[in-house]
């Protein structure tokens, strides 16, 4: 149960609330109690003052115990209050008169013998040496706040005692305590239930997300989580989750298209291989020349197959970030020269003239094989799409912080509406012509690979110009390549 965030949240919330409520009610209760006690004391002092004044006035110049008792009687009658009791004692602390004798201020809380209780005697004892003392006296059924005051009169000095029953206050404080005893647990229970439902409601989107994510598979990647409020934290989580799904779906789609295109590209040479072999084997009386022709076709097609498989392998490893790059200090001018030599036979076969203008001393940190492959792909395309008798030029120069390698031809160019797509995998501007080129026909992967190679060297590959008079492809590589 404690594994549930809802329950843990609720428990924490209730615990913190309990601590706050207990601290708050405790402080309020004690402040209130102190305040009540202070008010009682000041009321008691005022009453004692008033009583003493009346007593003195009534006594006047009177002497003797009887005169004192009579004056005290008048004062007690004048100042009688419910729950308030008076006593007059002579200077020897002998009780002369109490309000209980007069039946004044009596309530059910008054303890009839309070003035004879041991607690009262103790109070008298402690008050003996002081003209005014505040204290507490306990009777059988309650406690009293008490004040003793020495009153000097012409006939001698007397001690006045006023007792105020604390019963009403204690009753009030008790009822406050009782209220707290049930109100705090009730408030906590309510807050706990409310908190639990709040936590459940707030976390409901998480539960829904988990459930949806659990049922999500490759076939349902297009599903998205519902976003209740995209500004709150859970909405943000759902949004991020949806964006992640979008990326996964896009990458799935890319992979699916890649596999479909790849199978499609592989199907054609395989079909040719099978068709050629079946036709040749359908008759037994073939001449050696016919067999040679078939074998030549088989060789070309298997070469094409090998080429496509090699390109596919390169791209899948590139996508997975697993292509082993071997970066070494090289010279771009040397790599360009080597690519020219390798392209020479292709140019010869197509009767295309290869020219070059290569600046010397262009040091570069590069993967020799990959950079060579990129240059050969560009030269191969330029030759492939050039009319016989035309010229293809490779130029290599430094341009500030970069090297610019350009391959230009006088081929038919790429239609403007297709130019943006030529770096896509398996894209061919003119499929019919590509196929008609026989063994030279590519699968539309050459530029995609060249682009990846440029990027992996922190450079870029772009089609600088392409119109019916020819095309120029340029590779821009940072001179201080430090991949």
**Sites of contact with ligand ADP (CB under 6 A):** 381-382, 385, 409, 411, 414, 422, 427-430, 434, 442-448, 471
CA angle at residue 162 from 160 to 168, to 5 degrees?
Answer: 175
Looking at the Cβ atoms of 79 and 373, the one nearer to ligand ADP is 373
Q: Which residue is nearest to ligand ADP (CB)?
A: 442
Q: Least separation, in Å, of the C-beta of 264 and ligand ADP?
A: 14
Q: In whole angstroms, give the CA distance from residue 146 to residue 133.
A: 8
SS3 content of the chain, % helix, strand, coil (to 5): 60, 20, 25
What is the C-alpha separation between 473 and 408, in angstroms, rounded?
6
CB closer to ligand ADP out of 165 and 386: 386
- Residue labelled with tokens 């309070």: 114
CB of 441 to ligand ADP, least distance (A): 7
Q: Between residues 169 and 408, which has the closer beta carbon with respect to ligand ADP?
A: 408
Phi, psi of 389 (to 5 degrees): 90, -5
Least distance (Å) from ligand ADP to the CB of residue 211? 45
Q: How far is the CB of 401 from ligand ADP (least distance, A)?
A: 27
The answer to whether the beta carbons of residues 401 and 476 sit under 8 Å apart is: no
Count the neighbouring beta carbons within 10 Å of the beta carbon of residue 351. 12
Q: How far is the CB of 352 from ligand ADP (least distance, A)?
A: 11
What does DSSP assign to residue 151?
E
Looking at the Cβ atoms of 241 and 427, the one nearer to ligand ADP is 427
| Smallest separation (angstroms) from ligand ADP to the CB of 450 | 7
Give least dist CB 294 to ligand ADP, A.
25
Please say which residue, 205 or 444, places its beta carbon nearer to ligand ADP: 444
Residue 157 and residue 468: Cα distance in Å, rounded? 135
Contact between 110 and 168 (Cβ < 8 Å): no
From its phi and psi, is residue 64 left (phi > 0), alpha (psi between -120 and 50) or beta? left
Strand, coil or helix: 473: strand
* C-beta closer to ligand ADP: residue 395 or 434: 434
CA-based radius of gyration for the chain? 54
Q: Which is nearer to ligand ADP, 88 or 343 (CB)?
A: 343
């Amino acid at each position: 149960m404690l594994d549930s965030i809802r329950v843990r949240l609720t428990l924490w919330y209730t615990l913190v609330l309990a601590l706050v409520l207990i601290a708050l009610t405790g402080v309020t209760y004690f402040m209130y109690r102190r305040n009540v006690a202070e008010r009682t004391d000041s009321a008691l002092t005022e009453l004692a003052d008033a009583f003493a004044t009346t007593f003195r006035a009534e006594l006047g110049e009177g002497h003797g115990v009887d005169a004192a008792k009579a004056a005290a009687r008048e004062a007690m009658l004048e100042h009688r209050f419910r729950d308030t009791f008076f006593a007059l004692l002579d200077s020897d602390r002998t009780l002369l008169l109490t309000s209980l004798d007069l039946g004044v201020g009596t309530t059910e809380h008054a303890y009839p013998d309070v003035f004879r209780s041991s607690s009262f005697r103790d109070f008298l004892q402690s008050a003996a040496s002081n003209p005014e003392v505040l204290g507490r006296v306990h009777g059988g059924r309650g406690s009293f706040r008490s004040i003793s005051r020495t009153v000097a009169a012409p006939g001698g000095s007397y001690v006045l005692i006023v007792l105020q029953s604390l019963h009403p206050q204690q009753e009030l404080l008790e009822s406050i305590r009782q209220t707290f005893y049930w109100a705090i647990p009730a408030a906590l229970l309510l807050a706990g239930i409310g908190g639990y439902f709040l936590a459940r409601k707030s976390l409901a989107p998480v539960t829904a997300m988990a459930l949806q994510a659990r049922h999500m598979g490759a076939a349902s990647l297009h599903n998205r989580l519902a976003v209740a409020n995209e500004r709150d934290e859970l909405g943000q989580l759902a949004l991020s989750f949806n964006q992640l799904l979008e990326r996964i779906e896009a990458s799935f789609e890319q992979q699916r298209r890649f596999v479909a295109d790849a199978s499609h590209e592989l199907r054609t040479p395989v079909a040719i291989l099978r068709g050629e072999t079946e036709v040749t084997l359908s008759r037994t009386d073939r001449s050696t020349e016919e067999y040679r022709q078939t074998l030549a076709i088989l060789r070309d097609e298997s070469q094409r197959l090998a080429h496509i498989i090699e390109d596919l392998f390169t791209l899948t490893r590139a996508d997975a970030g697993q292509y082993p790059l071997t970066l070494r200090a090289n010279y771009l001018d040397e790599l360009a020269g080597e690519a020219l030599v390798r392209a020479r036979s292709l140019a010869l076969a197509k009767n295309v003239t290869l020219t070059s203008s290569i600046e010397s001393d262009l040091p570069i940190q590069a993967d020799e094989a990959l950079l060579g492959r990129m240059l050969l792909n560009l030269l191969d395309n330029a030759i492939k799409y050039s009319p016989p008798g035309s010229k293809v030029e490779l130029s290599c120069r430094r341009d500030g912080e970069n090297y610019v390698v350009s391959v230009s031809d006088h081929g038919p160019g790429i239609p403007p509406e297709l130019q943006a797509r030529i770096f896509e995998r398996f894209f061919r501007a003119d499929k019919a012509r590509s196929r008609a080129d026989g063994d030279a026909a590519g699968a539309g992967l050459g530029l995609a690979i060249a682009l990846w190679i440029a990027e992996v060297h922190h450079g870029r590959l772009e089609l600088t110009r392409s119109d019916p008079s020819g095309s120029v492809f340029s590779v821009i590589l940072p001179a201080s390549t430090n991949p």
